[in-house]
A and B are shown apart, each in its own frame.
Chain A
Amino acid sequence: MIHHNRLPVNNCMGDWGQNIVERPAAPDQSHAVVLENCFFFSALLFRYPDDAVYHGIRENLQTFSDFLSAYGGQVPQVPPSEDLQAEYVGLFVNNKGFVPAVPYAAYHIDDGRLMGDSYDRLRQTMAETGFQLDPSVKELEDHLTILLEYAATLVRSVAGSEGADTGGHFEARALVEVTGNYIQPVIEAILPGIDQYATLDFYRIAARALREFIRDTAGIYEIIPGFPENAWSKKAE
């Protein structure tokens, strides 16, 4: 997670400004960039809305209004920061001793227990694609927001590898795996909890948008330049 200890509060606005990079996208790459940005924006939506994230969501909401209304049916109002934070904690962190929408993938895949076997496999995949969690981040790798960010990163890797011989095959398979075997199980599992316990519409809409988006990704991936046909085969060699 992005914690205050990583981004000093007084500085976050500035930081956030630098995070958006205007990049002249090559025409054939533009859709991949859109896809990557959709993943990254989704990651922001499901990240704890500290000041940096909160402003990030607010400032980009208009840009992603198409995305949200296409998949979530509407563009949510962004509630005041304090309300959104309370809502986030109440849904995803701690709520009267239980968590209505556990954001960890392994919890839903492996019998309601954190850090199960699927968690190990994810870390393995991350390592094999050259990534790891920033050691200063005290979270588990299978947290929904980290999974989404990882997916964004993988989209970029695949698109960037276009033309290369072994071009991004491994990354493409990792992308398929992370969306299909991790993100999808979490979002499908937590949506009912969010619907039941949410007090504001924000995460309801965001979660619905994410679920619909993820359900569609199988069809979308093939627009990524360099996305190999055989990426759907179950196991990466």
Chain B
Amino acid sequence: MAIHDKKISRRKFLGLSTGALAGMMFSPGLSTLVRAGSGPVDPVPAGSRQFIASNCAMCVNKCGIIGEVVDGKLRKINPNKKHLKSRGMLCAKGNAGAALPYSSDRLKTPLLRTGERGEGKWKEISWDEAFKYVARNLADLKKEYKNRSTVAFASTEGFQEEFYYYLVNSFGSLNTVRHPTLCLSSNIQGWSSVFGVYPDADLKNAEFVIMLGSDRAQALITPDSVDFQRYKPKGQKLIVLDPRFTETGAKADRWYPVKPRTDQAFVLAMMHVIINENRYDKTFVETYTHGFEQLREMVQEYTPQWAEGKCEIPAAEIVKTAREFADHAPRSVIYPGRRSSFYTHEVYVRQTYAILAAICGCWDTKGGVVPKSSIDLDAHNIVFPFFMETRERMDKEATNLLKDVVPSAVQCPMIGTGLPTDSCAFLSEKDGSWISFREAVLNDNPYPVRGFVCFKQNPVQAVPNTAKTLEMLKKMEFICVIDQQMSDTAWYADIVLPHTTYLEGWDPAHSLSGIWPVVAFRQPMIEKMFNTKTMFEIAGGVIHEMLKIDSLWDDIDPADLTTFKKDIVEDVLDKPIQDFIRHQVKSHPGGWEQLLKEGFFTTEGGRPRYGYTRKPGFRFKTKTGRIEFFNERYKSAGLFPLPKYCEPEVLPEKGEYRFLVGRTAWNTHTSTQNNPYLWEIQKENALWIHTDEAGKMGIRSGDEVIVKSHIGAQRIKAYVTEKIRPDCLFYVNGWGRHSPWMSRVYKTGASEAEILDDVLDSISGSACMHETFVTVTKA
């Protein structure tokens, strides 16, 4: 600054009428600074470098990570090379997690809404106030509706979800709704109908693998995404059926662009070939299964020629694939996959896959489909009080819910007869069904739900048909969201509680089941940066406030309350979480130390336990205790017991395309698109459209187009490619945010939830995300 300017600026300052100012003095009473040494000192660390083992939380996989912490700051997240589940790898998201704590977008302190919902007017409140607010609202709702289930609790999976359920069970609502019906509930139901469990695939040792609709190269699942390529050079053959030429398709020995919704026909025809050519495993079938003759009879009509007409894959290819599958058995895998929220008949599709594995004896053996093992942890012996003022979960108690509000769910001509009209046939108690649950809430059927607590889930983006989700939120008198970031859903909340990131806090141990089971946990790598809390602390805080409100405990046995205070509050929530974790692993000598050092531990040297379901006397969790081709429970429920081919109930009209859902390797859910390191890989999504179709409409790559379903319309750039069937369209989720949640992806690309139809699979309660038909026009 020039001398001259200095003089001017000084004169300006001295020109202030300073009398009052000089006479006044601010004392440090409001100060945020203290003299060094006057409080517990947090010395500036210098030159320190630590490697801290933990587990990732950027998606559901929980891969092993080792944080490199320099001077108290997380510099890099490395893979844990010893980790049995993640095989020593770490994906783009896992690496990008290192930016998470240092993002300015984080929620930093509890926020209370002061304006209208969604208006974006908030005030900061203390945690004490927040806990009081939540407890008081829960109490008010209970008082008003005389039904604890009037508050719905939504959550996504994660280690801290355990403590979320402490809160849920302490309040006593039965209306919980989790992620599986947006993801894999039909898969679990279909495979379980045959084997009683939902198994894993031993891709490490398989010789022949068929993947139908699973994009393991991009939708990463550990260890599958690792194994299916890392060990491929050993001669593994990979067959991929997908309407899109995915990265997995690019890895395949043969890629079949299967007509959507007809994968089942392909597999039924394979069974036709294998059974009629006597290529199935007769010993296995005789020893372990039930209903083979009915199956044999059923598949007779499903000839390869018939299937060719359905799935548009040449009959000869089907025959070839069937023979190869049988030849490599039992080291053949028909891949169960993960997300199966595709079609209305998905449970039957998955049942079909499971039966194929069973007839060839590719079960519970090296290189086949193998039931998950898990390592037992010591649970805390706790019993939550039994509350009188609680009604059964609404998607169970509702009447005519499906018939009246989800007509598409009961239109399937094949399965129509026995389909439930009130609620889903085989609903998982805790998980609920997002689509039917939301319908029930919207219709107050059978009772009003007026409170909504949401832990790290983002239904506004994740559940098909955003408009309905917003409508559902409007019915609520109280909305509380616990999250790390201001998600689309948090934006509509009354109170937002900031959750500590997975890198700053302790998470309890979890047994991760699989062929290679491990116990994993999380420990902090860095100090907490802001005024956040973990679900463990939040549950404790809210429950303490709840205990101060008598009306919340007037419908239980007083003895229950005493036990509750002792067993749950004093013994668990009031103690450090480390005590909880130590208790969990107390049956595993050295387990705690191993967790601290490696972030995980395993037992039996981490070797797979093949064959325990093949031992004499083993009872499968089916009605007959055997592997069921003919499902007795389905029969009792009035459903078709065998996976008969289900013709689609609705077909695209002229000019309509089927909309597909898929993932990339750098974003799985809707929470990572704003991470700068992932954003720079993909800055917006684009609509995949086949070259010929685009040609007809004069659409070129980069042109703006409008994709429209009867739910909504989105504007997006086109990506003209040969990599998709001409009758399908696709864009990846995570962009075009409804509310501008994330600065980088706001208004770029298109949102999935905004156009997806809310179709329901009424057997498992799963959403059907591939049952939406759209049109496309040049913008």
Contact = CB atoms under 8 A, between A and B. Distances in A.
A145 B485 CA distance: 23
Given A94-B105, A97-B487, A20 B42 contact: no
B29 A15 contact: yes
Contacts of A70: 12-13, 15-16
B739 interface: yes
Contact of B30 (A19, A95, A104): A19
B111 A89 contact: yes
A220 B43 CA distance: 33
B104 A89 contact: no
A37 B124 contact: no
B25 A102 contact: no
Interface in B705-751: 739-743, 746
A99 B123 contact: no
A223 B24 contact: no
A97 to B, nearest CB: 4
B22 A30 contact: yes
Interface stretch (B32-40, B399-407, B535-543): B32-40
Contacts of B379: none
B636 interface: no
Contacts of B40: 135
A53 B23 contact: no
Contacts of B109: 3, 93, 138
B743 to A, nearest CB: 4
A23 B24 CA distance: 6
A120 B44 contact: yes
A89 B36 contact: no
B702 interface: no
A138 B33 contact: no
A113 B122 contact: no
Interface string A57-76: 00010011011001000000
Contacts of A216: 9-10, 12-13
B529 A63 contact: no
B123 A86 contact: yes
Contacts of B36: 126-127, 130-132
Contact of A223 (B10, B30, B71): B10
Given A96-B740, A124-B44, A220 B9 contact: yes
A37 B26 contact: yes
Contacts of B293: none
Nearest to A103: B104
Contacts of A82: 114, 121, 123
A124 B46 CA distance: 10
B476 to A, nearest CB: 20
B128 interface: yes
Given A131-B35, A135-B39, A223-B13, A97 B486 contact: yes
Given A70-B15, A97-B674, A134-B32, A34 B102 contact: no
Contact of B122 (A63, A94, A116): A94
B123 A149 contact: no
A18 interface: yes
Given A30-B18, A37-B25, A98-B742, A137 B114 contact: no
A33 B25 contact: yes
Contacts, number: 245
Contact of A140 (B43, B120, B529): B529
A25 B23 contact: yes
Given A19-B26, A20-B24, A133 B16 contact: no
B697 interface: no
A153 interface: yes
A96 B124 contact: no
Interface string A138-150: 1110000110011
A19 B29 contact: yes
Interface in A149-167: 149-150, 152-153
Interface in A29-64: 30-31, 33-38, 40-41, 44, 48, 50, 52-53, 56, 60, 63-64
Contact of A34 (B18, B39, B124, B741): B18
B740 A33 contact: no
Contacts of B115: 86
A109 interface: no
Interface centre among B120, B124, B674 (most CB of A within 10 A): B124
Interface magnitude class on chain B: 35 or more
Interface in A84-130: 85-86, 89-90, 93-99, 102, 104, 107, 112-116, 120, 123-124, 126-127, 130
B741 A97 contact: yes
A96 B44 contact: no
A149 B24 CA distance: 16
B9 A132 contact: no
A95 B122 CA distance: 9
A5 interface: yes
A102 B106 CA distance: 11
A169 B14 CA distance: 23
Interface in B84-141: 99, 101-105, 107-109, 111, 114-115, 120-129
Contacts of B122: 85-86, 89-90, 93-94
Given A40-B26, A120-B44, A98 B743 contact: yes
Interface string A217-228: 111101100000
B105 A97 contact: yes
Interface magnitude class on chain A: 35 or more
Given A4-B125, A127-B44, A220 B13 contact: yes
Contacts of A4: 125-126, 128-129
B111 A123 contact: no
Contacts of B486: 94-97
Given A3-B126, A127-B44, A132-B42, A138 B31 contact: no
B21 interface: yes
A94 to B, nearest CB: 5
Nearest to A29: B22
Given A21-B26, A218-B6, A98 B126 contact: no
A21 to B, nearest CB: 4
B124 A48 contact: yes
Given A94-B107, A94-B122, A132 B33 contact: yes
Given A97-B674, A131-B36, A216-B13, A5 B743 contact: no
Interface string B510-532: 00000000000000000011110
B683 interface: no
A149 B102 CA distance: 24
A97 B742 contact: yes
B39 to A, nearest CB: 5
B676 interface: yes
A135 B103 CA distance: 22
B124 A134 contact: no
B20 interface: yes
A30 B17 CA distance: 12
Contacts of B121: 82-83, 86, 89-90
A146 B32 CA distance: 7
B13 A37 contact: no
B114 A85 contact: yes
A131 B123 contact: no
A22 interface: yes
B126 to A, nearest CB: 4
B325 interface: no
Contact of A20 (B27, B43, B487): B27
Interface of B: 1, 5-10, 12-18, 20-36, 39-44, 71, 73, 99, 101-105, 107-109, 111, 114-115, 120-129, 485-487, 491, 528-531, 674, 676, 739-743, 746
Query: Ordered nearest first, which 9 A-B pairs have the shortest CB separation?
Result: A219-B9, A219-B6, A98-B743, A216-B9, A86-B121, A97-B741, A30-B22, A138-B531, A19-B29
11 contacts: A18-B27, A19-B29, A21-B24, A82-B123, A96-B486, A114-B101, A116-B102, A134-B39, A149-B31, A153-B33, A216-B12
Given A89-B124, A138-B109, 12 more contacts: A2-B30, A4-B129, A19-B27, A25-B23, A37-B22, A86-B121, A86-B123, A96-B746, A130-B36, A133-B32, A134-B31, A152-B26
